[in-house]
Chain A
Amino acid sequence: MFAFILRRIIQAIFVMLVISLVGFSIQHQIGDPVRDLVGERVTPAEREVIRDQLGLNDPFYIQYFRFIKNACKGDLGLSFFYKKPALEVIVSKAPATIELVIVTAIILILVSIPSGIYAAIYPKSWFSRLVMAASTIGVAIPVFLTAIALIYLFGVELNWLPSYGRGETVNIWGWESGFFTWDGLKHLVLPSISLSSIMLPLFIRLVRAEMMEVLETEYIKFAWAKGLHRQRVWFIHAFKNTLLPVITVFGVQLGILFAFTILTETVFQWQGMGFMFLEAVERSDTSLLVAYLVVVGVIFVVVNTIVDIVYGYVNPMVRIVGTK
């Protein structure tokens, strides 16, 4: 386990270096920080002096090295718009996004696994056909359309659920959480449903396809031949094997969910990282953009590490490799 974690950390460092290089290159290419700082009225000669002072004339790799050094200290530059360290801005927005993704992931798991399994066991039932048809349509509908339709139906027409913002939040050790108030939970419903609608068809189909494949294997046939009860064959023998590929895909897709929050958060005016990202793009707030990339990169790496640990728990062969 220790070796596994250690290797993971080394991998993570490597991934972060690549992400930071991409981020830094973007910042390096877009916009001129000197002009942002001093405006139009300063002479080119004076600008050159400022450039020298700020080290902007240094070779790329020296500037990059300086960037990494600062990043390690938690300094990802200043946000021009907020006049605050970029990292601080993002950290204040992160809880909203993370909570949205957590609720979405829970919806994904609770819906896709039971319906995928059911569709695999009874492929010809009307429920399975309905789920398959619905998931085909679901894949084709973009998230903002789903979101707008949900807002129209439940927010405007029926007036059951709030359609924008996070509602009432509670501050727990600096974490603005919407989990602990009724109002906050109600505000989570529509955004998380529309965010999950992107991935749900994929996951139902994945679980179904994997489960159907597993049900055809020799060891499942042997499990039947042992005279086991069918619940045991389905939910212990087949399901555990179905989980392996599903967990892998889930880990990757969870990272992608963070990216999709940009659209969802914009439609629902959700004050998270995705919403902030779009604002930063509009304002050419490059430090904030780079900081966003780095933070999302960290989240991605952490999520995938957790997923790998869970995978090791389900798949004994990985556990052996990991411990040796």
Chain B
Amino acid sequence: MSHLLEVIDLEVKFALRFGELTAINGVSFTLDKGERLGIVGESGAGKSVTGFAIINLLSKPGYISGGKILFEGRELNRLPEEEMRKIRGNSIGMIFQDPMMTLNPVLTISTQMVETVLAHQNISKADAMDLALEKLKKVHIPSPAKRLHQYPHECSGGMRQRIVVAIALLTNPSLIIADEPSTALDVTIQAEIMDLLLELCETEDMGLILITHDLAVVSQVTEKIAVMYAGKIVETGTTEAVVHDPKHPYTQGLIKALPGSLQPGARLNQIPGMMPTLTDIPAGCAFHPRCTISDTVCQMEVPALISIDDYDRMAACHMVEKSFP
């Protein structure tokens, strides 16, 4: 069976005055129908850029400089703008980080919902309105008919994110890309939004790419994980395997940094150092200056992402490679 989404060797560059910066350097992954993938990493790892590259909406100096994005059998990065527009918000829905900023402050909820339907379907305004109402009910918004006629500032943050989810659902997309959908919300609301996303993906059989820095959130919702570092995937596998038995030292660091694994009152673990900026990515393995087990080979050679067991498990680390001959 062919995949819903297949990203092959994606490369994204930012053309700046003093030269080009590589933000994404050879990222590959696949997603099947109804499958949920988490992309994890610290800020600046290229998670969001990957998400925006899929729908070809990179911010200005950024562009896709190599690789392929296959979605439902079409090569997205080769499509003309108008064909791409028909896919955006139609078969690929997007959920952004901060619901306070995502909705247009001067347009009513109904306007922002109806226009999305009308941009992709040839139906009447009244029908589009019914559809909007139906989707608002689906995301469990209290008194949805009243909400429709309100402006974004009349709704709370959690409510707005539900509305954004409802907008993404309007056209029954086969894939939703959620870029840090719960980061800007309270912890309790976070959990509600994640539960909602999980529920909708299961009932509607939608694929989900969940971009987040929060491993706890990912392990709740997704089936697969890709861990990104400095524009590359350093480890992938099933969520179960990656969370319980991380192979890459970076993933291990991330998991150790979760407060849940500690006694109350103990100091939080952290990975020493910072993610390198795009201008000075270290030679060899980009993680080696922060790595506790790095060797001379790590400073010289870029480790390849290779299979390390019989399943879908892959990691890019010389040290791991050594122990799995």
Contacts and interface: CB of A to CB of B under 8 A. Distances in A.
A317 interface: yes
Contacts of A232: 115, 119
A227 B86 contact: yes
A237 B89 contact: no
B106 A241 contact: yes
Contacts of B105: 219, 241, 315-317
B116 A221 contact: no
Interface stretch (B93-101, B241-249, B254-262, B314-322): B93-101
Contacts of B3: none
A300 to B, nearest CB: 27
Nearest to B86: A227
Contact of A219 (B90, B104, B108, B151): B104
B167 A221 contact: no
Interface in B79-93: 85-90
B53 interface: no
B264 to A, nearest CB: 37
B102 A218 contact: yes
Contacts of B27: none
Interface string B106-134: 11100000011001100000000000000
Contact of A237 (B59, B88, B104): B104
A321 to B, nearest CB: 11
B55 interface: yes
A224 B116 CA distance: 10
Contact of B98 (A218, A223, A226, A317): A218
A198 B289 CA distance: 59
A223 B116 CA distance: 9
A249 to B, nearest CB: 18
A241 B107 CA distance: 10
A225 B57 contact: yes
Nearest to A243: B106
A227 B87 contact: yes
A247 interface: no
Interface in A236-264: 236-237, 240-241, 244
A319 B167 CA distance: 25
Interface residues of A, number: 23
Given A228-B116, A232-B115, A222 B153 contact: no
A225 B55 contact: yes
A229 B119 contact: yes
Interface string B151-163: 1011000000000
Given A218-B96, A222-B94, A316-B151, A227 B116 contact: yes
Given A221-B96, A225-B94, A237 B107 contact: yes
A315 B106 CA distance: 6
B104 A225 contact: no
Contacts of A217: 101
Nearest to B108: A316
Contacts of A222: 94, 96, 102-104, 164
Contacts of B103: 219, 222
Interface string A26-54: 00000000000000000000000000000
B115 A224 contact: no
Interface in A286-324: 314-317, 320
Contacts of B167: 226
Contact of A221 (B57, B120, B154, B164): B57
B266 to A, nearest CB: 38
A276 B57 CA distance: 59
Contacts of A227: 85-90, 116, 119-120
Nearest to B120: A227
A222 B96 CA distance: 8
Contacts of B153: 316-317, 320
B140 to A, nearest CB: 21
Contacts of A314: 106
B86 to A, nearest CB: 7
28 contacts: A218-B101, A219-B101, A219-B105, A221-B57, A221-B59, A221-B96, A222-B94, A222-B96, A223-B104, A226-B88, A226-B89, A226-B167, A227-B86, A228-B85, A228-B89, A228-B116, A229-B85, A236-B107, A240-B106, A241-B106, A244-B106, A314-B106, A315-B105, A315-B106, A316-B105, A316-B106, A317-B151, A317-B153
Interface of A: 217-219, 221-229, 232, 236-237, 240-241, 244, 314-317, 320
Nearest 5 pairs of A and B residues by beta carbon = A227-B89, A226-B89, A227-B88, A218-B101, A225-B94
Given A316-B151, A316-B153, 14 more contacts: A217-B101, A219-B101, A219-B102, A221-B96, A222-B103, A225-B57, A225-B94, A225-B96, A227-B88, A227-B120, A315-B105, A316-B106, A317-B105, A320-B153
